[in-house]
Amino acid sequence: MKHLQHIILVFLVGMVGAFAQQTPAPEQTEAYTIIGATAHIGNGEVIENSLIIIKDGKILACVDALTSKMAMQGEIIKAQGKHVYPGIIAPNSTLGLQEIGAVRATNDTREIGDMNPNIRSIIAYNAESKIVESMRPNGVLIGQITPRGGTISGSSSIVQFDAWNWEDAAIKTDEGIHMNWPNTFTRGRWWLGEDPGLKPNKNYKKNVDKANMFVAESKAYLAGDRSTMNLKYEAMSGLFDGSKTLYVHVDDERGLRDAIDFKDKNGIAKMVIVGGYQAPKVAELLKQHDIPVLVQRTHTTPAIDDHDYDYTFKLPKLLVDAGVLVGLQNSGSMERANARNLPFQAGTVAAYGMDKEEALKLITSNSAKILGIDDRLGTLEAGKDATFFVSEGDALDMRTNKLTHAFINGRAISLESHQTELWKRYADKYGQKN
Amino acid sequence: MFKKFFLLLMLMCGSFLIAQEHFPKNDGVKSVNTNHTALTNAKIFVTPTKIIDNGTLLIKDGKVVSVGSSVNIPKNAVVVDLAGKHVYPSFIDIFSGFGIEKPKRQGGGRSPQYEPSREGYYWNDHIMPEQTALEHFKYNSKAAADLRKAGFGTVNTHMQDGIIRGTGALIALSDEGGDAVRILDASSAQYSALTRSVRTRQSYPGSIMGSMALLRQVNHDADWYAKGMSKVSDRSLEAYLKNRDMIQIIAAGSRANALRCDNVGDDIGVQYVILGGGDEYERVSDIKATNATFIIPIDFPKAYDVEDPFLASTLELEDMLEWNQMPGNPKALAESGVKFALTTHELKSASDFKSNLMKAIKYGLEPVKALEALTTTPAGILGHADKLGNLNSGAFANFLITSGDVFDAKTTLYENWVKGHRYIMESMDVKDIRGDYSMTIMNTPYELNFSGGISKVKSKVTSGDNELGSKISYQDDWINLTLKTADSTKDEYVRLVSRIGAGDNLTGTVIFPNGNESTFYATKKPKEEKSNDGGNAKPNGKKSEVDVMPVYYPNGAYGFKTMPRQETLLFKNATVWTNESDGVLENTDVLIKDGKISKIGSNLSASGAKVIDATGKHLTSGIIDEHSHIAAASINEGGQNSSAEVSIEDVIDASDIDIYRNLAGGVTSMQILHGSANPIGGRSAIIKLKWGESADNILNKNAAKFIKFALGENVKQSNWQSFNRFPQTRMGVEQLYVDYFSRAKAYDQKKKSGKPYRKDVEMEVLAEILNKERYISCHSYVQSEINMLMKVAEKFNFNINTFTHILEGYKVADKMAEHGVGGSTFSDWWAYKFEVNDAIPHNAAIMHNAGVVTAINSDDGEMSRRLNQEAAKSVKYGGVSEEDAWKFVTLNPAKLLHIDDRVGSIKVGKDADVVLWNGHPMSIYSKAEKTIIEGVTYFDIERDKQMRESVKRDRNKLINMMLKDKNKGMKTQPVKRKDKEHLHCESLDKNF
């Protein structure tokens, strides 16, 4: 009997070993210094031969090793020929909310109902998701975990990708409310003999009015004594004092213009556009209203045949050139697993005309500003969280994006994953190098 | 007046008696009318080309007795003088659903239905050759009246539902005499289509290619049945055999489908008459090459409502061009010598027919061709050229009487005679009272204006500056005109009544509000000549008003106005990725000539070659995607667990913009695979991305033959509600393969033995696999099933050629190497299904290192245009060398597709399928500048810039044209946006 228990125990431990996420790294206790690397600060600047001192989970200094006289501290990590980048941020992501696309039981991305500002993604965030850990070997270390569905999907929170649980993971909770702008087109019901294509949505105005009415009701409630709790209206409160951001998911020009009007009319303090396929048409207006854009996935085909084949590749540049603050996000088909390709999406933007360091900003400092975490994240500047990584080469190019180290709050995190374990196991089986 | 009624009565009686002569008569004496009717002094179009200027048409018993300029009129003839009038054979529509109610879609049931609903018929519900039009037919006099108004006298109607729809019936649009008179041919032609019946839920076929395969298989089964080989009776096949010698009409509904139908016809020995889609002008030479006769709809699209620029921005050039060009389709067909009939099919109302037809004429269709397309051609198609579509003696007395040229907007259609019955649209006796009149009543002058139709007159009355409310009725030679009095404060009316006499002026009685009566006189004013340019004739330039855009290849954005040509090209000083033992050569010249790689070396020169300075640039062979689903109209035939009988080659869509976009990503060849809906999928098409060429020309005809197999969750139908199709487990998948291959083996042995056998395309294809004439590319995920399929293949003594996706290939790489199967995988996809839980991005590296021929594929129309980047991921994940990683998307897929003798590397003698990159081909920062296939530059980054400008220009021009249409008050349609999704393994035909 005892023997059997022992076997079961071994078996269970084995299971845990095979299926659990990498153990989160312990807190930083000793300072360390990275020398010799090319530091891509994330704000457009580069220091060719850098000296980076990390202490107490923060960047104490990131300076030019040649000109600076700062003393190195703690362990020295020699990184000559390597590149250091701030941790890449994945905004508008469902990482940790669903593990397997086709398995409904693993899906926590969308709640039923149309207006759900009170729905909070953070509590469903699975810090032990095997997809989350697969982000890290590519340098993607931070995500904005965002619910989907309805007109108002719910509230997003920002997490880092090395944690025991969602509380540990949280960087900023309930920082924004996500709204899917009403569609200007609707799909024909072919089974009723209608043209299956998209046609102008007759209910568009009605749906916009509904959203306006919901905001008006929320404001009325918030102005009252709130004696009877209304969870939905309560959740809207931060939108008017600037403590929360309204993320409006919209792509078409009319929707964009109407969304900007919605912001003004309803006194929304901060708004961010998510998607923004036609945003270049309203770039001037976005700039005037100080509305940034988290542009749609770079690696998509144009919406209509007539558009330039590289329209989606150059879309971020069109907006940046017009003075709009732009970040990249990756929502769409297989969005969770593909989020690790964000650095290459930025690389593609660079291929189609943007300066490489500017392109890096799209996934680091710009996103940090847009998400309101730029006081702590997004660059390698002194005082920021030590959330960054070291790559053997250019991290925006897949050939050279090879991480040797990654840190979150100064903690040296594992770059292993379910995938690397399998790789090593089977490479060993065949006697291959790994 | 009396004469007219009498005539009508006579004619009615006459026909009635003819039709019913063997019927007993109990309500009176049985009298026979043997009179003739003679229509004299008319311009008679005996046929579209045989015209008698001042002729007589003599008819009797619903038929033409004689026609000519000097016809002997018998004494017992009623004579109708048609001086100044035209007489035409009435129109024939041979693609009609007249009198047959549109069937309702069969609903209900959550799980798909795989079995047939019927017994004693063919195994597939969509095959209904036993169906007849008449079993559904009920004469619809309202619809008949509408058709007669549009000039039609005869229609060939059928049940427009199903793949084989059975026979049609030829119907004369005669209200009188009953079906005994109307039905000219009870089974006139057999109709088929590529679309399913809505009356059954049986799931097969679920795609265009499935319909095509089914049409072929039915024919094989019928051959076998005809030999008496079937052990059971099959009423469908019996009917099919009976209908075989009939005219076969197939509803293709588009240019692309027309070519597909013609291919099916070629395979089964049938020359179909094809219902087109109106878009034949896009590749009219291909249409001509079918040698088929066509039935062409003329439902020209209305202009899009582009007033709202937001909405207009989503409209595609392709759709705008269609609006602009489609009215020129009949002209294009006529000019290319394609024989065609016109149909009202797809028109919302028969009353739209004339305006659309006149539009086609305005766009250059010659009236004589139009008339042929409505008379002699449709009659000829049905084999009734003697009786219909002309007015020669012996033909049915089906004709139109018009005021002039039948295709002129101003012409009035007076009468439409059907089998000698006279139907009056506008009375010829009605005097034209339209014009301006002046009259004075009680010292007040009035101006009258009558306009509108000859018998439907509208009135406008003014007195001084005031327009007075008025209403006119004009019937049976009398007019009644009611006027409001000039005093607008009062609700009082003045009434005028007048009999229309011989003169132009009107006279009659006026009745005042107080009841007093008096006489009025209204004097008709002479017609004002409206010409304002000194009597010069209008410039005869109607056709020049039509601004038709050129047709592009393909006909939309980024299409070519003229196809690029093969050139002799000399790349100087390039970094050349040979993929051969030479590796990557720096500062090297490559000469391309006659579509081949001619020389590789340094300091090359060639006279007449276009020299391209490639300094600092990289030249590679074109990217090859082993797994794609672009450029196809269907991907899955999931209606059964095996669909080896279908082929993607049948459904190539050469106009897919993703072809162009992939060229811009350096892709030159692709395997277009069937989806993964079933364990045995369909046959592949291996294509070259020759943008602008026809579907047939982009097929790589030198390529080996392939078929798609699939394993795992998709074929088990794990992720959706379907529980009634075998197999539901991986265990069942193995047994399915063993079963099919055992049967294929037995089939092949029987076939080779010379014994009679039922030709079964599915078995033929599987036998090709057993005979190593066709290769399998199998969609696969987990190691157990991968191993299983290799064992099944070994048992049947063949090898699996490729495992595609193969995400757990790394777990059985040693077994794969031993079996000799290749692996074509994703670079880094995972987490979308349970079976990809153990997918790792190092998969390609491990397989490659284990000696498996490894490729990286896309299965995605977007990712395929970045396959160079996907290959580069193998450098990151698993440390594959750059040269080897590059082969993952070039030489290795060429090997897997057995096309490496022609493509996949830069080697003298191979096809000149090359790409010029502005940098390292696997760098994220590089772009393809030129993509060349067989020496033709299909993508050029500089030309692309010009094309963008051209797209913009064309769009704006067309938007302006549509705005103009709307401002002219013409009807518009709302903007539509195409819902284009990239097809994946799991995509089903939409709206099928």
Domain positions in chain A: 23-87+378-434, 88-377
Name which of B318, B830, B840 is nearest A305 (Cβ-Cβ): B318
Alpha carbons B776 and B623: distance in angstroms, whole number? 21
Quote the CATH superfamily of domain B554-622+904-946.
Answer: Urease, subunit C, domain 1 (2.30.40.10)
Which residue type sits at A287?
Answer: K
Probe site for chain B from A186, A252, A399 (most B CB atoms < 10 A): A399
Question: Would you place residue B16 in the very low, low, confident or very high pLDDT band (cuts 50, 70, 90)?
Answer: very low
Residue A26: is its pLDDT beyond 70? yes
Residues A315-334: tens digit of each pLDDT: 999 999 999 999 999 999 99
* pLDDT for residue B775: 98
The arrangement of secondary structure in B91-107+116-384, i.e. its CATH architecture, is Alpha-Beta Barrel (3.20)
In sequence order, what are the residues at sequence separation of 6 or more whose Cβ sits closer than 8 angstroms to the Cβ of residue A253?
A278, A281, A282, B310, B313
Residue A8: is its pLDDT beyond 60? no
High-pLDDT (> 90) share of chain B, %: 79
Please give the class, per CATH, of domain B34-90+389-429. Answer: mainly beta
Structure tokens at A213: 């009415």
Q: Which CATH number describes the domain made up of B623-903?
A: 3.20.20.140
Name which of A195, A310, A337 is nearest B830 (Cβ-Cβ): A337
Contact B990 A348 (CB under 8 A): no
Query: Quick check: B786 and B813 in contact, CB under 8 A?
Result: no
Domain A88-377 = CATH 3.60.21.10: no
Contact B810 A422 (CB under 8 A): yes
Alpha carbons A169 and A171: distance in angstroms, whole number? 6
- The DSSP call for residue A267 is T
Å from A404 to nearest chain B CA?
A: 12
* pLDDT for residue B813: 98
Region B449-475 average pLDDT: 85
Region B593-618 average pLDDT: 97
Contact B846 A426 (CB under 8 A): yes
* pLDDT for residue B476: 81
DSSP labels, B94-123: EEE-TTBPPPPPP---SSPB-S-S-SSS-S
Domain ranges of chain B: 34-90+389-429, 91-107+116-384, 435-524, 554-622+904-946, 623-903
Q: How far is CA A175 from the centre of its chain?
A: 13
Residues B117-165: tens digit of each pLDDT: 999 999 999 999 999 999 999 999 999 999 999 999 999 999 999 999 9
Contacts of residues B479-487 at CB distance under 8 Å and 24 or more positions apart, as own/partner, are: B479/B433, B479/B506, B479/B508, B481/B448, B483/B446, B485/B513, B486/B444
Q: Residue A336: its chain B contacts at CB < 8 A?
A: 831
Residues B202-218: tens digit of each pLDDT: 999 999 999 999 999 99
Residues B560-593: tens digit of each pLDDT: 999 999 999 999 999 999 999 999 999 999 999 9
* pLDDT for residue B539: 43
Residue B722: is its pLDDT beyond 70? yes
Question: β-pairing, A83-86 with A388-391?
Answer: antiparallel
Q: Tell me which chain B residue has its CA closest to the CA of residue A184.
A: B311
Residue A5: is its pLDDT beyond 90? no
Residues B654-707: tens digit of each pLDDT: 999 999 999 999 999 999 999 999 999 999 999 999 999 999 999 999 899 999
Residue B646: is its pLDDT beyond 80? yes
Say which CATH topology domain B435-524 has: Lipocalin (2.40.128)
Alpha carbons A160 and A389: distance in angstroms, whole number? 13
Contact B831 A99 (CB under 8 A): yes
Residues B371-414: tens digit of each pLDDT: 999 999 999 999 999 999 999 999 999 999 999 999 998 899 99
* pLDDT for residue B529: 52
* pLDDT for residue B667: 98
Other Cβ atoms less than 10 A from the Cβ of A162: the count is 26
Same fold, B435-524 and B623-903: no
Q: Tell me which chain A residue has its CA closest to the CA of residue B880.
A: A399
Contact A100 B713 (CB under 8 A): no
Question: Would you place residue B31 in the very low, low, confident or very high pLDDT band (cuts 50, 70, 90)?
Answer: confident
**Average confidence score pLDDT of chain B:** 93
Region B806-815 average pLDDT: 98
The strand ranges marked E within B464-583 are 466-468, 470-475, 478-484, 493-499, 506-511, 517-524, 569-577
* pLDDT for residue B833: 95
With vertex at residue B887, the alpha carbon angle to CA B881 and CA B888, rounded to the nearest 5 degrees, is 90
Backbone angles phi, psi at B224, to 5 degrees: -70, -40
Give start and end residues of each alpha helix (H) in A105-252.
130-133, 166-169, 204-223, 231-235, 238-241
Residue B990: is its pLDDT beyond 70? no
Residue A18: is its pLDDT beyond 60? no
A11 against A365, higher pLDDT = A365
Structure tokens at A413: 């995190």
* pLDDT for residue B527: 75
Residue A15: is its pLDDT beyond 70? no
* pLDDT for residue A2: 47
Residues B468-520: tens digit of each pLDDT: 888 898 888 888 998 887 777 778 888 989 888 878 888 889 888 888 888 88
B254 against B110, higher pLDDT = B254
Question: Would you place residue B33 in the very low, low, confident or very high pLDDT band (cuts 50, 70, 90)?
Answer: confident
* pLDDT for residue B64: 97
Name which of B557, B719, B878 is nearest A102 (Cβ-Cβ): B719
Question: β-pairing, A293-295 with A326-328?
Answer: parallel
- Is A340 at the interface with chain B, CB within 8 A? yes
Question: Would you place residue A4 in the very low, low, confident or very high pLDDT band (cuts 50, 70, 90)?
Answer: very low
Region B50-64 average pLDDT: 96
Region A106-110 average pLDDT: 97
Number of inter-chain CB pairs under 8 A, A vs B: 181
Region A86-115 average pLDDT: 97
Say which CATH topology domain A23-87+378-434 has: Urease, subunit C; domain 1 (2.30.40)
Region B305-334 average pLDDT: 95
Probe site for chain A from B302, B558, B830, B868 (most A CB atoms < 10 A): B830
* pLDDT for residue B528: 63
- Is A345 at the interface with chain B, CB within 8 A? no
High-pLDDT (> 70) share of chain B, %: 95
Question: Would you place residue B991 in the very low, low, confident or very high pLDDT band (cuts 50, 70, 90)?
Answer: very low
Alpha carbons B877 and A402: distance in angstroms, whole number? 8
* pLDDT for residue B20: 65
Alpha carbons B191 and B275: distance in angstroms, whole number? 10
* pLDDT for residue A188: 77
B628 against B525, higher pLDDT = B628
Residues B337-355: tens digit of each pLDDT: 999 999 999 999 999 999 9
Query: Quick check: A302 and A312 in contact, CB under 8 A?
Result: yes
**Average confidence score pLDDT of chain A:** 94
Name which of A102, A399, A430 is nearest B834 (Cβ-Cβ): A102
Name which of B837, B842, B922 is nearest A399 (Cβ-Cβ): B922
Residues A399-433: tens digit of each pLDDT: 999 999 999 999 999 999 999 999 999 999 999 98
* pLDDT for residue A20: 56
Residue B452: is its pLDDT beyond 70? yes
High-pLDDT (> 70) share of chain A, %: 94
